[in-house]
Amino acid sequence: MAAALPLKRPVKVGELVRRRLRELKRTPRELADAVQVSEIYISDLVAGRRRPPAPGRMDVYAPMTKFLKLHRNDLPTCAKAEREGETKSRRRPNPEIREQFLALCLDPARARVLARRLGRKDGVTLERVIVGRLLEVAQGFVRRQLDDDVGIRIAASREGCTYLEWRMKLMEFLDATPEGLTPDDGAEFVRPRIAGWDIDFDTHAMRIVLRSQDPAPRQVRALSI
C-alpha cells in the first residue's frame, strides 16, 4: 500500500497508529518487532493507556513511521498536539525522590533551606523544576544508551534479563515524568549520573555537576541549566 496521505489536522497518536495498522493489515505484534518494543507497549499506546513519547523521541517514531508508511513529521506532530492538550499535573513527585535529590545538593546548608521550602504547600512548583531538570539530564544519558545495541546486550546479560527487557526498562525511564519517577528510577538512572547540583532561588537557574565514566572527582564536569 502507498504511503498515507498527509494529515490535515493532528489526531491522537494511538488513533493514527490504530488506523494505519488496519489500513496496512498489520498487527501490533509486527509493529512492536519493527520498533523493538514489547507488544504491550504498542497495545497500550494504541488504546490510549500510555502517554505518547515526546515529539523528539525518534528512537520510537522513526521506525514506527517507516513501518506505518507515514510522513516524517506525522507522529511527532500528533504527539506534540496531544501532550500540549493534557491537563498539567499538580501532583508532587514521590517524597523519596525529594530526599534522594536533596542528598545530591552541593551545599548542605542550602539543601536544608530547600527541604523546608519544598515541604510547604506552595513548594510544588520549585520541586517540579528541580526534579524535572535532573530527570531531563539523566534521560539524555539513557537516550544515548539506546543507540548502543552492544551495550544493551552486555547490560542485559549482567542484569540477568533479555535484550528486549533491558531495552524496555530504558524506554520506560525515558517516558517517566517528575510525578511518576520512582525511587528505583532515581537510584538506578539519576544518581549514578549526577554528582551534585545547586539552584538560584530567584531565577531557578540550576548548576548540575555530572559524573564522568571514571568517578575520579577531578573528572566531573559542570552543566549549567
| Per-residue b or e along 70-109, where b marks 16 or more CB atoms closer than 10 Å to that residue's CB | beeebbbbbbbbbeeeeeeeeebbbeebbebbbebbeeee
Mean pLDDT split into 10-residue runs, the chain, 225 residues: 74 96 96 97 96 94 96 95 83 91 94 92 90 96 92 95 96 93 95 94 93 50 46
> For residue 5, what pLDDT is reported?
66
Predicted local distance difference test score (pLDDT) of residue 83: 93
Collapsing DSSP to helix, strand or coil, 195 comes out as strand
Same domain flag for 117 and 147: yes
Q: How many CB atoms lie within 10 A of CB 64?
A: 26
In a domain, 2, yes or no: no
Residues 71 and 141 in one domain: no
Give the per-residue pLDDT at 88: 72
45 and 139 within one domain: no
Domain count, the chain: 2
117 and 32 share one domain: no
> Which pLDDT belongs to residue 1?
56
Residue showing cell 544519558: 141
pLDDT number for residue 213: 57
- Cβ distance 166 to 155 under 8 Å? yes
Which pLDDT score is estimated for 64?
A: 97
In the prediction, which pLDDT does 161 show?
96
Domain contains 213: yes
Give the domain range for residue 103: 95-224
Beta strands in the chain (DSSP E): 194-199, 206-210, 221-224
Q: Domain check: are 103 and 209 in the same one?
A: yes
pTM, two decimals, is: 0.83
| Backbone region of residue 27 per phi and psi (left: phi > 0; alpha: psi in -120 to 50; beta: other values) | beta
